[in-house]
Amino acid sequence: MPSTICNTITVLSITALLSACALSPRSHEGDASASVTQQASAPAASPASSSAGSLADAGRPFSSDQLPLPDAGRTRDSDRQQLPAARLQPVVTHSADIIIVERQKDAVTQALTEESATARLNRIMAQKSAQPSAAAKVATTAKPAKSPRVAQNAASKSKSNQRSARTAPASKADKAAMAKNEETATLPPGAQTAATAQPTKNFKDGIWQRIRERLALEEVTHERIDEQIDHLRRHPGYISTLSQRAEPYLHYIVELIDQRGLPMDMVIVPMVESAFQPLAVSPKEAAGLWQFIPTTGQQRGLTLADGYDGRYDIHASTKAALNHLSYLNKLFNGDWLLALAAYNAGEGTVKRAIEANQKEALGTTFWDLKLPAETQAYVPKILALSRVISDPQTYQVKLRKINNAPQLVRVVVKPEVNLADAIMVTGMVAEDFYRFNPAFKPDVPPPAQTYNLLLPLDKAEVLVDNLAGTQLMAPRKVIVKKGETLATIAQRHGVSHLKLAQWNKLSGKTVLKTGQQLIVYPVSQG
């Protein structure tokens, strides 16, 4: 009898063990792994004060197991009807050292100086034009080059807690420009001297060269930035994966940033916020590329409804994010580091930290403030990526080649247009349509209003040619005729001559030359 009991107990134990193994989640299966779950539980800014809750792990540097990921175990549409299994292929092929949450089956889913953004950008660009390129510097250096880590640490030790993204006080003209409505962008860098500038500059190195030439924060130095750079160098798959995910949307977002005359460092924000995952959702309910929480999204004009969530809309959310960043930059007197900190932690959090330091007669730069751990890591991550993008060879990082050419164009769709009809007319597979337009939810009609669709040019042309109530909003090239001025061309196209000058990096008083090529962006409420 005792033998029988022992045998029975043994069999039951083995059975229980096998059952537990069978129920255990397998690596990379579903939407999360154990390591991702740990990331999702990292400290974050309070949703009541944070304007855009970052998915990045708080207080820790980049690494292969810390790629910002959606909330563990769920994405936006986890309760929606499942899509056919044939549509579940990942959008990008990721590097072997990256852990990626695959898309769910239904996821189509005054101590502050006052240098304005324009003044700083003009100064940076003037310095760049007067200096040799990074490659030329390397080629003409006689001494053996120190490692980036050693060189940057040497600078950091003498400048720690002193240097920020600002210098001289703003002029009266700059202050007046900053006071304009945030939708009215000031002239971009070089506008006062680029009398013969051409908007169709050939960027041989693609979109990264275009971004590189308009970076404004890559000069900022600090030990915390160096730590992030070290991790980026050790984990090149991080940037590789970011590039793959960003590729469909990068040119479109760069265009919007360029139109606003903002520094190209802003394109790095969604890299840190969401790792360029349009359907990303954080534990704090921040969503989309730019990680808006619902309240901030609605304050910035984004529609949140059953069939449409503007936080996932590439065009609408980018416009809202750039508006919000511009507002924060003005609020903190042109200091982009404080603006970025406020984007992550909320403007109230940053203001209170500044006031606390002022009471103690302490410094009020970003590096001096007592901010949430996530924010203290968030800004250095953006600055580290800015520096690496500005000079990838020095940091031994290879950027994925992405052409400086649009992959998507915008089509304005009026309220009377049925979304299902639009998809059918384009001839696109539904998954591809929702990939570029993730704000819409399959089988859930969106509210009747005007929308902006992003489509490949050929599909956009088919849609506009065959469906009433649609308008293609792609930029056009204009050849200047004899006697034409900025004012006459602007009037003909229904835009202000200052905006036309801004788009083409010209002064408002530039005298045009016959045959000169200009670019004109369409006017739209969206």
Beta-bridge mates of residue 308: 440
Catalytic residue positions, numbered: 273
394 vs 495: CA distance, rounded Å: 43
368 vs 339: CA distance, rounded Å: 15
Half-sphere exposure of 252 (CA within 13 A, CB side): 25
Q: Class of 475-526 per CATH?
A: alpha beta
CA distances from 398 to 3, 94, 232, 238, 298 (A): 67, 15, 11, 11, 38
Give residue 297's pLDDT. Answer: 95
Beta-bridge mates of residue 492: none
Give residue 331's pLDDT. Answer: 97
Spatial contact of 290 and 54, defined as CB atoms under 8 Å apart: no
289 vs 276: CA distance, rounded Å: 6
At residue 12, φ and ψ (nearest 5 deg) are -65, -40
Greatest distance between any 2 Cα atoms in the chain? 110
Tokens at 7, concatenated: 């045998």
Spatial contact of 287 and 53, defined as CB atoms under 8 Å apart: no
Tokens at 178, concatenated: 């900053």
For the chain (526 residues), the mean pLDDT of every run of 10, in chain order, is 56 53 36 31 35 44 42 40 30 28 32 42 52 37 36 40 39 41 34 33 84 95 96 89 94 94 97 96 94 95 95 97 97 97 97 97 97 97 96 90 93 94 95 96 92 95 93 84 91 85 87 90 61
Give residue 133's pLDDT. Answer: 40
334 vs 179: CA distance, rounded Å: 12
The residue extents of the domains of the chain are 117-137+146-189+205-390, 408-474, 475-526
Q: Is 437 exposed, middle or buried (0-12, 13-18, 19+ CB in 10 A)?
A: buried
Spatial contact of 434 and 108, defined as CB atoms under 8 Å apart: yes
At residue 411, φ and ψ (nearest 5 deg) are -125, 125
CA 205 to chain centre: 20
Give residue 398's pLDDT. Answer: 87
Tokens 């006697």 locate to 483
Tokens at 450, concatenated: 């005007």
Question: Concatenated DSSP letters for 393-416?
Answer: TTTT-PPPP--SS-S-EEEEE-TT
348 vs 352: CA distance, rounded Å: 6
Side-by-side strand order, sheet with 451-455: 451-455, 409-413, 470-472
124 vs 42: CA distance, rounded Å: 36
Tokens at 489, concatenated: 């061309």
Q: What is the DSSP letter of 143?
A: S
- What residues contact residue 136 under an 8 Å CB cut-off, 6+ apart? none
Half-sphere exposure of 291 (CA within 13 A, CB side): 32
Question: Concatenated DSSP letters for 468-490?
Answer: TTEEE---EEEEPPTT--HHHHH
Domain at 117-137+146-189+205-390: CATH architecture: Orthogonal Bundle (1.10)
Tokens at 517, concatenated: 């090529």
Number of residues that make up the chain: 526
Q: Is 306 exposed, middle or buried (0-12, 13-18, 19+ CB in 10 A)?
A: exposed
406 vs 207: CA distance, rounded Å: 10
Fill in the amino acid letter for 190: G
Instruction: Mark out the alpha helices in 169-268 (DSSP H runs).
Output: 172-178, 207-212, 223-234, 236-260
Tokens 């009471």 locate to 359
At residue 470, φ and ψ (nearest 5 deg) are -125, 150
Spatial contact of 120 and 216, defined as CB atoms under 8 Å apart: yes
Fill in the amino acid letter for 326: S
Q: What is the CA radius of gyration of the chain?
A: 25
Kindly compute the dihedral angle of the four CA atoms of residues 399, 401, 404, 410, in this order, to the nearest 10 degrees.
-90
